[in-house]
Structures are given as structure tokens and as C-alpha cells.
Structure 1
Amino acid sequence: MRYSGRFALVGAVIAGLSFAATAANATPAGPGVTGTIIGDETVGDRHIVVREITLPPGQSTGWHFHDGNLIGYVKQGTLSHFDATCESDGVYRTGSHIVEPAGSNHVHIGRNLGTVPVVLDVVYVLPVGSPLSEDAPNPGCDFQ
């Protein structure tokens, strides 16, 4: 599916969700990192969650992976994204989209190396019963 079609689909899914803000489950993240669920719906065998995540300057998401795919939008700031080889696999500025594939072979970390908070709007498309993310050990990188 082309990206424009994918984002149109995500928009349709988001529009169909009920938007009751609730606190999100904690993930292995740095101090001050917050997540708020703004939409939550089960469709067939998929759990679809819309979440806003804020990373203060100098903080990270912690090393993790997802059991389903994620599509994110950088609402503010610049997200630096690293894979398990410790190499950058993307720098996402305000207005950018990021797609994270599913699976334990896609361990990654998102870091805010800038001076303003990073605010992300993220759509999780997960198998029913899966957590939003799965903790993963640092793969040997000299940063966390």
C-alpha cells in the first residue's frame, strides 16, 4: 500500500475510535516521558490504540519492540531513532511520519537529542492481548 493510502486508512481508523483520554501503561523510558491514550478500539483480531507520547529533551523511549505495526506522526520536535546495531535508522522532524514494523527482530529506541520536547501521535495496530511495547535490553550501545 502506498504511504498516502496508508495514512488515509489510519485517519479513517482514528476517526472511528472513541476518544476518552486515559493514562497509558509505563514503558522503560527516561524521566518525564509520558504517554496518554486518546483512542482505544478492538476491530476483529486487532487492538488499535492512538496514543500521544512526549519525550522531554535528553530523554528516550527505552529499548523496546512491538508485536504489531506502528505509524507515528511527529507533532513537535525532532525524534532520533536507532536500531539494534546502534546506528541511526532515521531522524524525524516536526511534520514527519514514522513507520515501525512488528517483531522482536526490530528492537529500537527513540531519543530526543534536541532542546524542545518531542511530541508524537502514534497509532498502534496490535494483536489483541499484546502490550503496547515489549521491553528489550540495550543491545550493547553506549547510550540508553
Structure 2
Amino acid sequence: MRTAHRIALAGATAIGLSLSPGIAIATPDIGVTGKTIAQKTVAGKDYILREITIKPGGSTGWHYHDGTLHVLVKQGALTHTGPSCTKTQTYGVGSTFVESSGADHVHVGRNLGSTPLVLDVLYVNPAKSPLAEDVPNPGCVFQ
């Protein structure tokens, strides 16, 4: 009987946690693939060069980075929106920009075009940190 009780309690706890209000859910990426071109660690920093492709209608999901990113748009156009939902920038072929680090720089990248978006991205991260930290949508509604 103790085993059955534990299983029932665990199930009830899992259901309760999944229904609890206020639990934020990260937004997944849609139609994003990445390929690492080069990677090296120097003086406690990871330098990672990746080619990122986002399909038409795709999105990176909301996230931030622990390090600084240097981005080159090789193909298509990137629509980049920050947490205020009102500051949206579009970067076309040949554009470069820098994404600052930290949780106060939450953003989403979207491909609103009809062709694949291709980016070359140099991540300059603290050693062994993830490429991105997923976060929930800060409340933006896109048309």
C-alpha cells in the first residue's frame, strides 16, 4: 500500500505543478538549425562561430545570451524584437550588429520573409556557458 500511495502522491504533485498559475514557460525556437564552423576557448572565454538558418516563418524563441554575439546577415532579413515589444529592427543582407549579454537583453529573432534567413554568428561567451538562455515571451503579441 505504501508504494501505491507514493505513486498516487507523485502523480497528484506532477499534475498540480503543471496546472499552477505563474509558472513561466520558455518559448521554443521554430524552424531554426545551426552548424558550428569553429570553436576555441581562450582565457576563460569560448569563441564559437556558427551558421544559423531560420526557415521562412521561423523564430528563435525568446532568449538572451550570457556573452556577446557579433552577427552578420548572409541571406534574407532578420526581424529582431526586444522585451519592450515596440523596439523592432530589421537587418538585411550584409548588415552586422552586436547582441549584448545578460537577462536584461531578452529578444526574439524572426524570419518574416519567404526565403531562408542565414546568419553567421560569433558567440563570445564565458567558458562552458550555453549558447542561449530560453525565457518566456515578455507579453509581446505579433500580427
Q: TM-score, normalised by structure 1?
A: 0.78
Q: In the alignment, which residue of structure 2 is the partner of 1:122?
A: 121
Instruction: Give the equivalent residue in structure 2 for 1:6.
Output: none
The answer to whether the Cα contact below 8 Å between 1:80 and 1:88 also exists between their aligned partners in 2 is: no
Question: Which structure: larger Rg?
Answer: 2
Whose helix fraction is larger, Structure 1's or Structure 2's? 2
Match of 1:11 in 2: none
- Equivalent position of 1:58 in the other structure: 57
Mapped partners of 1:86, 1:104: distance in 2: 16
Q: Tell me the matched-pair count.
A: 117
In the alignment, is the contact (CA less than 8 A) between 1:83 and 1:106 conserved in 2? yes
Three-state SS of the structure 2 residue aligned to 1:105 is helix
- Rounded to whole Å, the distance in 2 between the matches of 1:114 and 1:88 is 19
**Distance (Å, rounded) in 2 between the aligned partners of 1:42 and 1:89:** 33
Single out whichever of 128-137 and 88-97 deviates more from structure 2: 88-97
The residue that corresponds to 2:83 in the other structure is: 84
Question: Which structure 2 segments of 5+ residues have no match?
Answer: 1-26
User: 1: distance between equivalents of 2:91 and 2:121?
Assistant: 13
- 4+ runs deviating over 6 angstroms: none
Identity %: 55
Q: State the partner residue of 2:98.
A: 99
Cα deviation, residue 71, structure 1:
0.3
Matches of 2:56 and 2:87, distance apart in 1 = 18
1:28 corresponds to: 28
Matching residue of 2:72? 73
CA contact (8 A) 1:36 1:52 kept: yes
